[in-house]
Every structure is written in structure tokens, then in C-alpha cells.
Amino acid sequence: MSRRRSRSNEPPRLRRGDATRKVSHQTLEAQRAEQRGEPPRPTVAPSSMPRIVYAVPGAPVRTDLHPAMLRELVVREGFPGVLWVDIDNESRHQVALLEKVFDFHPLAVEDALNPQSRVKIDAYRNSLFVIVRGLRFCENTDDPYDVETYNLCFFMAKNLLVTVHSGPSVPVDVVYERMVANPDQLERGAERVAHALMDITVDEYFPVLDKIDEFVDGLEERVYQRFDQDVMRDVFAVKRLVLAMRRHLMPQREVFSVLTNRPTPFLPPESQVWFRDIYDHVLRINDSVDTYRELLANVMDSYLSQVSNRLGQVTKGLSVIATLSVPFVVVSGMWGMNFEHIPLSGQAHGFWIMLAVQLGLGGFLIWLLRRWGLL
């Protein structure tokens, strides 16, 4: 399997049972375009029908099943073939299918519609409910390290997979085209479709890691050679990104550990082997995130040490200047008093004699401070 490598821009919390009030992905894009002064882009309303792929061995793949036909398949225990239904929760008509057609548990439906739901795995009477969180770069901001997260929800049952997401989804688009072109993969089981979707979702973390790795590679030159004073701003931005990734990955690791090791009637034991590969990816991403977090912390310490060293050099230089000026201040203060008889006041070369004495005193003080290790 190929290896690819918040400030999280998530919509507001969805109120209980109110699927029509959540902010959609298209609404967020329109708000960002308005803030940048760009003209609004035309939005396309989601279709009232979900994307459907129904594969039966020896028969052409079906993508045009009516909701009534979906209900007949679902209520029929042990229906032939494998059915995958993809639902966009921005469409009220598609959302209604979750309870009216598939009869999923209301709590699971509520979690699937809530964009703030945490990554989790729950077993219900007729399905296994899983939430996986994806991460992708936000292309509509000037910050190169700005990312946005999204939830991809799975209802897994025997011969049935229902996915729920908000707005366009790259993993769903890729797998949908793959299954329609090659239905043999779908006929291997609904869990294989879920594996393909989860695998692409987790692999979207790798480009973010590549971006962080590229940033870390350039830190040595910026910190030690050029001493770029703007580097700390970028370090804090990337460190915030690393901490956000770690916050999303920790519960995800537990989810894939359960999918890999815990027996469940909705996931055959032979299919759990496939999820071990995703679990390994999550562990590898998590290890990389921990490594980058330590590297960034070390860079911050090194930068602050360099600042302290440079401040010490400046202080040392100012100390030399102050030491040289002490004899001048003392002697000029003494010879500036209003006395009638001042030593060397009548000498022809008195000024040059006092100048040499002051320079000699300054040099002697510098030699003394160096010998004591203070300079």
C-alpha cells in the first residue's frame, strides 16, 4: 500500500435533532470568499438521492435503486450481494433514509449528523458505528499550515455499508469510481469498501507530514545560519498543527485497535486483518508527530539559547566600553573641581599625560576582568 503523507475549521455544534441548522462546507467557503473580498461562487445543492452501489455476483452493478427498493433489501435478512449507500448530510432527504429506511439507532444518527462528534466506535443492535476523522490542507487561506478536519461516518452491517459525510469527500469519490468500474471489489464484502475509505482518509495525513518535514529541514539554515527572527512565528504555527494532529490521532488509534482485535458480528475475523494495515499507518503517523513535536521543542530551545548568547555578546561589548570609560569619568570628575592647585595644570604636556594615564587604567581594568573570567 503506497505511503503518502488544527487549527481546525469545523462548523458550529449541531443542536440535538436539528440536521437543517448545521453550517455546510459550501457555506463556510462562501464566508471565507466574502472575507477575502472575492465574488461569491455558485453553489450546487446536494441531490436528494444518495449515491448507491449494489453488486450481486453474476449481475450488472446497480446504482439507481429507489428508496423503496432499499427498504425491501434492508428488511430482507441475508439479501444477496453487497450494498453501499453514501449519504450527504447536507441533504434532508438523504438524512431521512438513515432512520426511515435503515432503522439505525437515533443516537448513532445524531452523532453522524453532528460535525463536532468525536472519533469513536459503538456497537448497536443492527450495525457497527464508526467515526473516522480526516485532515486536509485548507486551500482558501494564506497560511500554508492551516488545515481543516472532517468526519467520515460508517454504519457497518452484514452485506451493508452506509457512509455519512458533509459536502464533497475525496475518499468517497475515489472509492465510488473504483467500485463502479470494478464491482468485483465490492462483491468481496462491505467491510472491504469501509477499509478502502478509511485507508484513503488516514493517508491524507501523510501530505501534512511531508509539509512539516519540509519545514523542519529548513529550520537549521534559518536558525543557525541566517538567524531568521521570524522563525519563531512559523515554529509556533507548525507546533500548533502538530498538537492538533496528535489530538485527532490519539482516539483514532483506539478505534483501529478495536477494529483490528475485538470480535464483532458485523466484521468477519478474516476481514480484520485488512484493518491492521491502517492501524500501522496510524501508529507511524503518531510516531512521526511525536518526533516532530520534540524537534520543534528543541528548535525553540536552541533559538532561545542563541538569543541569550547574542545578548551575552552584546552585554560583553557594552561592558568593555563601560570599563574603558570609567577612568575618563573619574579623572575628568576630579580635574573638573574648582580648586586653585590641580596637579599637572601647569605642565605643557599635562593633557596628553592624563590621557595616557586614563587609557592605561582602562586597559588594566580590562586585563583584570579577563583574568577573573568576567569577560
Domains defined for the chain, CATH in brackets: 6-200 (3.30.460.20), 321-371 (1.20.58.340)
Share of the chain above pLDDT 70, in %: 83
The string of pLDDT tens digits covering residues 227-273 is 777 778 888 888 888 888 888 888 899 999 999 888 888 888 888 88
Query: Which of 35 and 175 is assigned the larger pLDDT?
Result: 175
The string of pLDDT tens digits covering residues 197-232 is 999 999 999 988 888 888 888 877 777 777 777 778
The string of pLDDT tens digits covering residues 275-304 is 999 999 999 999 999 988 888 888 888 778
CA distance 92 to 95: 5
Helix (H, G, I), strand (E, B) or coil at 178: helix
For the purposes of burial, counting CB atoms within 10 Å of the CB of 44, is it exposed (0-12), middle (13-18) or buried (19 or more)?
Answer: exposed
Polymer length in residues for the chain = 375
Strands 82-88 and 51-55 come out as antiparallel
Neighbouring-strand partners of residue 161: 84, 156
For residue 290 the three cell numbers come to: 511525536
Q: What's the pTM value of the predicted model, to 2 decimals?
A: 0.70
For residue 91 the three cell numbers come to: 441533504
Residue 49 identity (one-letter amino acid): M
When mean pLDDT is compared across 42-46, 66-70, 159-163, 310-314, the lowest value belongs to: 42-46
Torsion angle of the four alpha carbons 243, 244, 246, 248, in this order, in degrees rounded to the nearest 10: 160
Cβ of 248: how many Cβ atoms within 10 Å? 22
CA distance 208 to 214: 10
For 74, residues 6+ apart whose C-beta sits below 8 A from its C-beta are 101, 102, 103, 160
Residue 281 identity (one-letter amino acid): H
Share of the chain above pLDDT 90, in %: 17
Residue 42 has pLDDT above 80, yes or no: no
DSSP state of 225: I
Tell me what the mean pLDDT of segment 108-127 comes to: 90
Listing from the earlier edge strand, what are the strands of the sheet with 51-55? Answer: 51-55, 82-88, 160-165, 147-157, 128-137, 120-123
Compute and round to an integer the Cα radius of gyration of the chain. 34
CA distance 136 to 204: 6
Tell me what the mean pLDDT of segment 83-87 comes to: 92
Residue 170 identity (one-letter amino acid): V
Mean pLDDT, rounded, of the chain: 78
Residue 325 has pLDDT above 90, yes or no: no
Find, among 98, 92, 123, the residue nearest to 112 by Cα: 98
Query: Which of 315 and 345 is assigned the larger pLDDT?
Result: 315
Question: Can you give the pLDDT at residue 24?
Answer: 40
Distances (CA, A) of 357 to 185, 331, 354, 362, 370: 95, 9, 5, 9, 20
Alpha-helical runs (H) found in 229-349: 231-261, 269-335
Question: Can you give the pLDDT at residue 5?
Answer: 39
Residue 144 has pLDDT above 80, yes or no: no
